[in-house]
Each structure stands twice: as C-alpha cells, then as structure tokens.
Amino acid sequence: MSNVRLKKQLIYAGLAVLLIGDITFAYLSAKISAGRENPQQTLQAENRQLQLMKLDVKRASEIRAKIPQVLKEFDQFETALPSASRGYSTIDQELTTFAKETHLQVDEKRFKEKELAGRGLDEVEIDLTVAGDYSGVVNFLNHLQRSKNTYIINGLQLDSANPGQVAPGTLRITLNLLTYFRKT
C-alpha cells in the first residue's frame, strides 16, 4: 500500500508542477499580448515622432542660417563698447551725472576689472552706494536702463547700516553693476 500511496503523491506533485507551469505561461502570454499595440496606433505615434523631428531639423536650419547675422551683431555690440583706455572715466562721469540728475548722493564707488579670455574684453564690476529718496533711486535705475553704455544690475541691496545718520525717508542702496570695455 505504501507503494500505491507514493505513486499517488508523485502524480499529485507532477500535476501541481504542470498546473504552476500553465499558470506561469498564461501570465507571460497575457503580458506579451498586452504589450502589443494596434499597428495603426504604432504608425500614428511614429508619424507624430517623425513630424516633431522634421520641425526640430527645420528650426536648427533656421538657427544655422541666422548665425552669421548674430555674429555680426555681436561684433557691432563689442565695437560699440567703450575702450578700456577711456572706459573708466566715461562710466564714472556717467554714473555721477545720473546721480546728480536724480538727486542722489554717491557715497561709495568701487571698480574691479576682470579680463574675459579669448574675447578681447574686460568685465568691470562696479559696487556703487547711493543715498536718496525712493523716486530718485527709481529714476537712477531708469537712467541706467536707457544709457547708451551697457550696465547689468547684478544685485541691489537696501543698506540698513547707520540708520540714524540719514534723514527720514532716505534710502541707502548698494548696487552691484557689470559693464564691459574693449581692449585696446
């Protein structure tokens, strides 16, 4: 009897293995079938991708065609910059004039030069502290924006040091500006 019992157990174990195999194959078959898309949908998606690539190529061609004009404009911009030999006096005079016109007092002005390698330009960082009323500060910033010279406002900070030494309603502003000079 034990021999018959052993055979039954082996048959049940074999059937269990076959059943687990069938379930595994059914699961994998369902996964593979679900991954397949409708050929029409695949074609539409690939056509959409192709159109996007064509638009990218067209845009890149337009950019490539404009490069000579952009380079020419860069050269014109760099040529219009003040030369390093007279740039400091030009910028200093202009900033002083703007401050006077807007009724601001210039408390401090510092210049720090850095050469831009390979461009024939010097980048000049200007730290400027001015004091005056709000409208004067706004007008000063408008003058900077409309200047024929190039100014980049890197930072603007309200200076709260020595509040007792300035009249009420007076703002003390520290500006960090960048400008550029041509090498001569």
DSSP string, 11-58: HHHHHHHHHHHHHHHHHHHHHHHHHPPPHHHHHHHHHHHHHHHHHHHH
**Domain check: are 54 and 125 in the same one?**
no
From 107, 80, 98, select the one nearest 146 (Cα to Cα). 98
Q: Taking a C-beta distance cutoff of 8 angstroms, is the pair 175, 108 a contact?
A: no
Position 164 scores a pLDDT of 56
- Count how many domains the chain has: 2
pLDDT tens per residue across span 29-38: 877 776 666 7
Q: Tell which of 48, 77, 106 closes a domain.
A: 77
pLDDT average, residue stretch 99-105? 93
Position 8 pLDDT exceeds 60? yes
pLDDT tens per residue across span 143-156: 999 999 889 999 99
**Which pTM does this prediction carry?**
0.61
Q: How far apart are CA 17 and CA 21, in angstroms?
A: 6
**Domain check: are 50 and 111 in the same one?**
no
**Domain check: are 70 and 101 in the same one?**
no
**Domain check: are 72 and 104 in the same one?**
no
